[in-house]
Amino acid sequence: MVNAILLISCCDQRGITAAVSNFIAVHQGNIEHADQHIDHQKEIFLMRIEWALKDFSVPKEKIPQEFLSIAKRFAMSWDIYFTDDIPRVAIFVSKPLHCLYDLLLRQKYTQICCEIPLIVSNHPDARDVAQNFNIPFHEFFIDKENKCDQEQKQMELLRKAKIDLVVLARYQQILTPQFVAEFKNRIINIHHSFLPAFVGANPYAQAYQKGVKIIGTTSHYVSEKLDEGPIIEQDTVRVSHRDSLQDLILKGEDLERMVLSRALRWHLARKILCYGNKTVIFD
């Protein structure tokens, strides 16, 4: 039961929906999900359409070629995905392990659909967890001097393992622009504050100091500017003067788990379209 998923963005014009849905209909495809969005300010059209390949008269591998003329007519940016291609995800983690554990359990119980061929860390703490789930663990000790070299080795590792997506599950290192460029819109980070509030280090301590009444968490694609890439998902929880800094961390970690897993699930289901510095989530 394989489906095809088309993600499209282009200038808003007459006839796009008709052209795309005709393409599917004339080849006997049955649409299972279709969603579109028009940014009326910027006159941009965005679409996600998913259809069953059962009975579809174009073989899977020829679909891109067949679709090309429509794509050209509307000057589309587009991608096509198939639900039997399981994405390969590398998890990067430092010392806090709650997000790592959560992702591994969700993958084990098929709540997120991906392969996890490797875990990378700049500390040894996650080694036991990785072993527990039978996933190869790669430790890269990082200091100021070896940072570039170590990142080169990490990138080499990712290329060899044909990694599609990098998840920073509380990885406390800033990636170089080169790394970010190679995985443009394919690195998902979890930042433990309600961005753009409390950028940078120790956001819970910043929030406690400030006396906010609500804390939050943000999952976003990594761009060259720290904590400024396109936001995928956020969530918040109420705190009060009764909550110590430790309580903030505890409440926040529950948010982190949920927010990161939602972002990852949407990415894997090809429900996210980036444009400008924003995301559209076709949930």
User: Measured between alpha carbons, how far is 220 from 259 in angstroms, rounded to an integer?
Assistant: 10
Cis peptide before 203 (omega within 30 of 0): no
Catalytic residue among 85, 149, 164, 227: 227
Q: Which is nearer to a copy of itself, 171 or 271 (CB)?
A: 271
Footprint on this chain of a copy of itself (rule: CB under 8 A): 12, 14-15, 17-19, 21-22, 24-26, 28-41, 97-98, 101, 105, 109, 111, 132, 194-198, 210-214, 216, 230-236, 238, 240-242, 244-245, 250, 254, 257-258, 276-281, 283
Alpha helices in 41-141 (DSSP H): 63-73, 98-108, 127-132
User: Measured between alpha carbons, how far is 83 from 3 in angstroms, rounded to an integer?
Assistant: 5
Q: What three-state secondary structure class fits 250? A: helix
Residue 110 burial class via C-beta count within 10 angstroms: exposed 0-12, middle 13-18, buried 19 and up: exposed
Q: Which is nearer to a copy of itself, 26 or 174 (CB)?
A: 26
Q: Which is nearer to a copy of itself, 30 or 178 (CB)?
A: 30
Q: Which is nearer to a copy of itself, 21 or 150 (CB)?
A: 21
Q: Is 227 a catalytic residue?
A: yes
| Residues known to be catalytic | 227
